[in-house]
Amino acid sequence: MTPAKGFTQIVYFSVILFSFLLFPHSPAFAKELPFVVPNIKAPVFTNRNFSITKYGAVADGLTKNTKAFEKAINACANSGGGKVVVPKGIWLTGPIALKSNVNLHLEAGSLILFSPDFNDYPLTIRSSGGKPEVCCVPPIFGEDLHNIAITGSGIIDGSGHAWRPVKKSKTTESQWQNLISSGGVVDEKSKIWYPSVEAMNGPKTVEKLIANNAYIKDYAAAKQYLRPVMVGLVNCKNVLLDGPTFQNSPNWNIHPLLCENMIIQNITVRNPWYSQNGDGLDPESCRNVIIRNCKFDVGDDAICMKSGKDEEGRSRAVPTENVAVENCIVYHGHGGFVIGSEMSGGIRNIYVRNCNFLGTDTGLRFKSARGRGGIVEKIYIQDIYMKDIPQDAIIFDLFYSGKNNSSDRQFVANEETPVFKNMHFHNIVCSGAARAMTIQGLPEMPTRDLTFENMSFSAKQSINCFETSNIKFKNVNIMQEKGPAFDMFNCRNFEFEKITFNESLPVFMNLTGEKTNNIELKDFNKSIMDKIRVDEKTNPDAVIISKSVISYLFYVTDLLPPIPLLK
């Protein structure tokens, strides 16, 4: 062994040891979280069963069993709790009010079918984004409860078709014609079908009622417009949803609000893909939540974190926090895992892993707008696998509502400005998308402090970044069909390391905007500059080519002279 080679090997092994200490190989991502993933225990119920058939329920799909459900649940609760059993069969019913210490258990073959009769759903006042609003009582509801569950392998159907409007753009021509022939009415532009004239005129009716400070009973004139969520839980603790299928909701499917210590597992959530506001699961201002082993095929966002809207949400000031999502599959939906747009109370400490998004409109979706306020931070997402995404695999959209988006006006950050920061993405693969990623911040509040590591995309277009700062891409593979790998406007303090892309295309990076600066390319060959386009308004020295610590040590080693042997 020559002295020079021996010294080089010593340096090499020292560098390897240093690299493992500084950048641990395959780190346990969860152990690096700055918050404790909730370890929540499921509620426990006494070993007492109360079958609804003992209280007069009839499984013919025609008899309304509202009273039978009520009697069985009351008997169970009054006895100290237990299990209310729904045997196989079709059980037509009006709203079901849950009670503390009760497990509503659906046996195999059971179907709870909620009545399409609007008269079965009294008017009530519920919070919508932090603002009290009149709506119909949800088919399943509970407030200020503890130790509650819905379990089993049966199906819960909300008869949402009786409530929901349908947009023509979301149907085929034959579906549209069948819908019209079924009854209901179509608006003047022939673009939206409504189940009734009352539902179609609902927005104007409600607007007048609010202006006149009307009593709740007066809202009966708009009842068919005031669609409820299917499962509405408010201020409940120790909640378990385990096993059933929840489908065909009038509005959002499952909406826990101000709830704590929830386990939601092994459920299937379904809505027609054309269902208006047909969300799957929307925890709002909830804390300590586990969502695992669930499947979603819905008409809007699948798993969506919320915390109130605008001033009302900021005043309530209750964030959604300490949420773990794992091993979920999303088929159709506007987004697989979503935050916003109602996030005014803040969202933090969210951990998502091991999920598949298959044909979902967008995979990971983060949305808000001026006026919301609120802070979204400490979001950790890993091991996400996506296929055939019609839009963006990952999108940050801070112009979601189109509200206050004028480009000829200067905005100043204030309490109404939404903040998205400190979010980390690790091990993400997308096979087929219209675009790999869009990160859209606000001029007055850039989306910032994001890391993307170990990612692979095949997409028609690649990554667009607007009004963003402090972003790191490491070990990212992008195989785009057209356009630059990175299209960046007003971006600053970016770091790129170990990036591969479609080198057959002429442009690697397109830089525009007067604010664009400090774009660092680590360990890139200087020839990459031939594939970077810089707009005339952008700093021509915005791009910096640097070497990583390890590369620099090898570089120095190559420059060292041989060390002679000692005699």
Please list, in sequence order, all residues whose beta carbon lies within 8 angstroms of the beta carbon of residue 81, skipping any fewer than 6 positions away: 45, 46, 48, 100, 101, 102, 103, 147
Residue given tokens 């810089």 in the structure block: 534
Element (DSSP H or E) covering residue 362: strand 362-367
Name the strand (E) or helix (H) holding 269: strand 268-270
Distances in whole angstroms, Cα of residue 170 to Cα of each of 175, 365, 389: 9, 21, 17
Is residue 336 within 8 A of residue 273, CB to CB? The reply is no
Which of 242, 279, 282, 300 is catalytic? The answer is 300
Cα 329 from Cα 295, distance rounded (Å): 5
| Max CA pair span of the chain | 104
Question: Rounded to an integer, what distance in angstroms lies between the CA atom of residue 423 and that of residue 409?
Answer: 29
Output b/e per residue, 189-226; b: 16+ Cβ within 10 A: eeebbbbbebbbbbeebbeebeeeeeeeeebebbbbbb
Position of tokens 């708009």?
Answer: 222
C-alpha 345/C-alpha 254 separation (Å) is 20
DSSP letter, residue 343? B
Q: How far is CA 503 from CA 361, 411, 564, in A?
A: 28, 39, 44
Residues 6+ apart with CB under 8 A from 71: 55, 56
The active-site residue out of 105, 332, 334, 424 is 334
SS (H, E, C) 199-212: HHCHHHHHHHHHHC
- Helix or strand (DSSP H, E) at 558: helix 549-559
105 part of the active site: no
CA 158 – CA 139 distance, rounded (Å): 7
Any idea what DSSP says for residue 67?
H
Is 255 in the active site? no
Answer whether 425's CB lies under 8 Å from 455's CB.
yes
Q: What span, in angstroms and rounded, lies between the C-alpha atoms of 178 and 165?
A: 14
Separation CA 507–CA 434 (nearest Å)? 19
Residues with catalytic roles: 300, 334
